[in-house]
Amino acid sequence: MLSHVIDTLSTWAIPVLVAFIPLYGWLKKIPIFDVFVEGAAEGFSMALKTLPFLVGILVALNIFEVSGALDAVIHMLAKPLSYVGVPAAVVPLILVRPLSGGAAMGIVTNILGRYGPDSFIGKLASTLQGSTDTTFYVLTLYFGTVSIRKTRYALAVALIGDLAGFVAAVALSHWLYH
């Protein structure tokens, strides 16, 4: 029953939003195309301003991976996490997700190819992928774009949020899929 409701909602959510937003704008007599073009122009200029920060975070991630530090951390955490129901196959995803969405998606793709999308590990990986955001990317991008240098507790709070998302994803996956 619950899975049928979730399937129905996920099937119709995007089409309803795509139809509702322009319809709402039209009813409010907003020049929809002009607003769209203006937003696209702002997005392009924002992309140019954020490019240096994106390059920096990608270089740092690549150094972390190529140096072997990522593999060492994965190896160190795999066994302790297995005691709380986290399979070793998803440990790399938990570590990479806060750093890079593209790398995390690559890990999920590999997991789904190896274990299958209907396996517990495949469903857990998919749930983990959607449970948090790319924390370091977001903080670097947002704070860098507006030139904020003193971020205070933003990183610590964001990482606690990531941890909460991962714990909830693992708990819900065990409850729903196991």
Q: Do residues 84 and 171 make contact, with C-beta atoms less than 8 angstroms apart?
A: no
CA angle, residues 114, 119, 121, in degrees to nearest 5: 70
What pLDDT does 4 receive?
Answer: 87
Residue 93 lies in a domain: yes
* C-alpha torsion 141→146→148→154, nearest 10: -50
Flag whether 26 is in a domain: no
**Which ranges in 83-119 belong to alpha helices (H)?**
91-96, 101-115
- Domain assignment present for residue 111? The answer is yes
Residue range of the domain that includes 69: 50-177
Question: Per the domain annotation, does 63 fall within a domain?
Answer: yes
Residue 157 lies in a domain: yes
Specify if 22 maps to a domain: no
Question: 34 in a domain, yes or no?
Answer: no
- Number of separate domains in the chain: 1
Give 4-17 pLDDT, tens digit per residue: 888 888 899 999 99
Q: Which tokens sit at 77?
A: 């955490």
One digit per residue, the tens of pLDDT, for the chain of length 178 reads 788 888 888 899 999 998 998 999 999 999 988 998 998 898 888 778 777 877 777 787 788 878 988 888 888 998 899 999 999 999 989 988 988 888 889 889 999 999 999 999 999 999 999 999 888 878 877 887 777 878 889 889 999 999 999 999 999 999 999 8
The whole-angstrom separation of Cα 77 and Cα 80 is: 6
Residues 163, 169: Cα–Cα separation, whole Å = 10
140-173 burial code (b ≥16 CB/10 A, e <16): bbebbeeeeeeeeeeeeebeeebeebbeebbeeb
Q: Report yes or no on 1 lying in a domain.
A: no
Q: What pLDDT, in 10s, does the model give residues 51-84? A: 787 777 778 778 887 898 888 888 899 889 999 9
